[in-house]
Amino acid sequence: MRLDKLSAVRAASTMIVFIPYGKTLIDLDLPDGKVLAILRSRDFNGEINEFRAVQEALNNPIGCDRLMEASSSKRSICIIVSDYTRATPNRILLPPIIESLKDAGVKSEGIKVLIAYGLHKPAPRELALEFLGKDIVEEVNVVDHDAEREDDLTYIGKTSFGTKLSVNRQIIDSDLIILTGLIEPHFFAGYSGGRKAILPGVAGREAIFNNHGFNMIMHPYARYGFLEGNPIHEDMVEAVKMIRRQMYMVNVVIDKRHRVTRAFAGDVFKAHLTGVRFLDKYIRVKSPAKADIVVTSNGGYPLDRDLYQAVKGMATGELVVKKGGVIVVFAECVDGVGRGHEEFYHLMAEAKTPDEVLERIRREEPIKDQWQAQIMARILREMRVIIVTKNVKHSVIEEMHMIPSSSPEEAIEEARRIVRNDAKIIAIPEGPYIIPYAED
């Protein structure tokens, strides 16, 4: 997918915008005079060498020793990695990390890779091979985290937010925990990466439910781009501090072509915050105003692999669409509604209105996937959502209170019919990989 094509060209009276959809791009024709803005991340300057970026971070850690020194006396290392729903470049991240550990004298049998599934359904082996790489899978022990397998968890304690923290025993049994991941905007934790590898990544079901609880999600700072004052983020930070094991972080930032542009290693909190500040310079994008229609994506593969994840694209559109407006989301959804996310569907489909969804969650929590349904219902209370996909039945999308569309043309026509033909349009091709904002 040529994500460097995320620009627009004019042709006659239309503007062609390229929207990520799976591993391809869709050419979207928008009426030129109606386009208020096309919002994109700023380009990263300088030569991009992905492996060198990771190596330079390992050589120049933030707030602590180099990984080689930090691991020199350790016998058991646990590397926490993102799962298949994330664009984290594990194939680039892991080799230099493992090489540093070997240089420190750590043997392959002393290294474990723990996949941070949170409450996501663990992937089959062929998918793990895809996002980790055959060499890694064959060289070290790879373990799936299962938040619902009580025998695999160790209770740590309770945070000030009331989260009863249990974590995968693999990290407690390790001398050093390495948190890997991708720093990107997150629709309720503010940003991904860093502390999220622990909670929700390798935490137990009960801890995730509390951290993603109704009141936490409803907090006005539980949104894209907020860390300070965000209770979800602050609860995650407390969770990490409660684990009395040495930790080390290696996170990356990627560009619109999903290439590593910069890596950040070292202290979990200092390195993560440095990465967030770096990212902000490129992904916070001002819009001249809010629009009647926002056209966006879920960033293409792998983030758009299901409708569950596509709520992130909706939340991006929510930031710059007018009340009563329309958000059009392109998402391939090769996994349909989502592997293991049946409850998400039922929460939406069994309610007559978005308000009923919110009331049921408030009344009956904890319910698996309630946070995704809650955010989606919050959006649907104020605006309409059109989903462009060929992999979810139209009837299912309608049952979930959205409007299905099989083509870009149909989606734009329907959006303009809902608001009015002279409606202004904003396009956000990268979807949840940027944070758009409008001062009004």
What confidence category does residue 10 fall into, taking pLDDT thresholds of 50, 70 and 90? Answer: low
Q: What is the CA radius of gyration of the chain?
A: 21
Q: Is residue 440's pLDDT more than 70? A: no
Q: d(Cα 372, Cα 308) in Å, to the nearest integer?
A: 7
pLDDT of 292 over the 50 cut = yes
CATH 3.40.50.11440 in the chain, residue ranges? 50-282
**What was the pLDDT predicted at 6?**
56
The one-letter amino acid code at 337 reads V
CA distances from 105 to 281, 311, 426 (A): 39, 44, 54
pLDDT in tens, 373-413: 999 999 999 999 999 999 999 999 999 999 999 899 999 99
Average pLDDT, integer, range 243-263: 96
Predicted local distance difference test score (pLDDT) of residue 334: 97
Tokens read off for 91: 């194939």
pLDDT in tens, 405-437: 989 999 999 999 999 878 999 999 999 999 999
C-beta of residue 309 within 8 angstroms of C-beta of residue 118: no
Q: What is the pLDDT of residue 53?
A: 97
Contact status, residue 111 vs residue 138, Cβ threshold 8 Å: no
How confident is the model over 162-180, as a mean pLDDT? 98
Region 48-70 average pLDDT = 97
Domain ranges in the chain with CATH number 3.90.226.30 = 3-39+287-437
Q: How far apart are CA 20 and CA 382, in angstroms?
A: 26
Of 133-137, 165-169, 183-187, 216-220, least confident by mean pLDDT is: 133-137
Q: Any idea which residues carry the catalytic annotation?
A: 120, 186
Choice between 124 and 154, residue whose per-residue pLDDT is larger? 154
153: tokens are 């968890």
Is residue 257's pLDDT more than 70? Answer: yes
The arithmetic mean of pLDDT across residues 158-173, rounded, is 98
> Architecture of 50-282 per CATH?
3-Layer(aba) Sandwich (3.40)
- Neighbour-count burial of 349, counting CB atoms closer than 10 A to its CB (0-12 exposed, 13-18 middle, 19+ buried): middle
Average pLDDT of the chain to the nearest whole number: 95
Q: If pLDDT is split at 50, 70 and 90, which confidence band does 14 have?
A: confident
Q: How far apart are CA 201 and CA 208, in angstroms?
A: 9
Residues 6+ apart with CB under 8 A from 405: 328, 386, 387, 388, 411, 414
Q: For residues 293 and 287, is the Cβ–Cβ distance under 8 A?
A: no
Which whole-number Å values give the CA distances from 269 to 101, 105, 249, 280, 341, in the listed order? 22, 27, 8, 16, 31
For residue 404, which phi and psi values (nearest 5 degrees)?
-85, 150
Band of pLDDT at residue 125, cut at 50, 70 and 90? confident
Pick the CATH number of 3-39+287-437 from 3.90.1200.10, 3.50.30.30, 3.90.226.30, 3.40.50.720: 3.90.226.30
How many angstroms separate the CA atoms of 28 and 287, rounded? Answer: 20
In tens, the pLDDT along 267-291 reads: 999 999 999 999 999 999 999 999 9
Span 294-318, average pLDDT = 97
pLDDT at 4 over 60: no
With contact defined as beta carbons under 8 Å apart, do 314 and 327 qualify? Answer: yes
Which pLDDT value is given to residue 2? 44
- pLDDT over threshold 60, residue 3: no
Residue 171 pLDDT? 97
Asked whether the predicted pLDDT for residue 341 surpasses 90, the reply is yes
Reduced to 3 states, what is the DSSP secondary structure of residue 186? Answer: strand
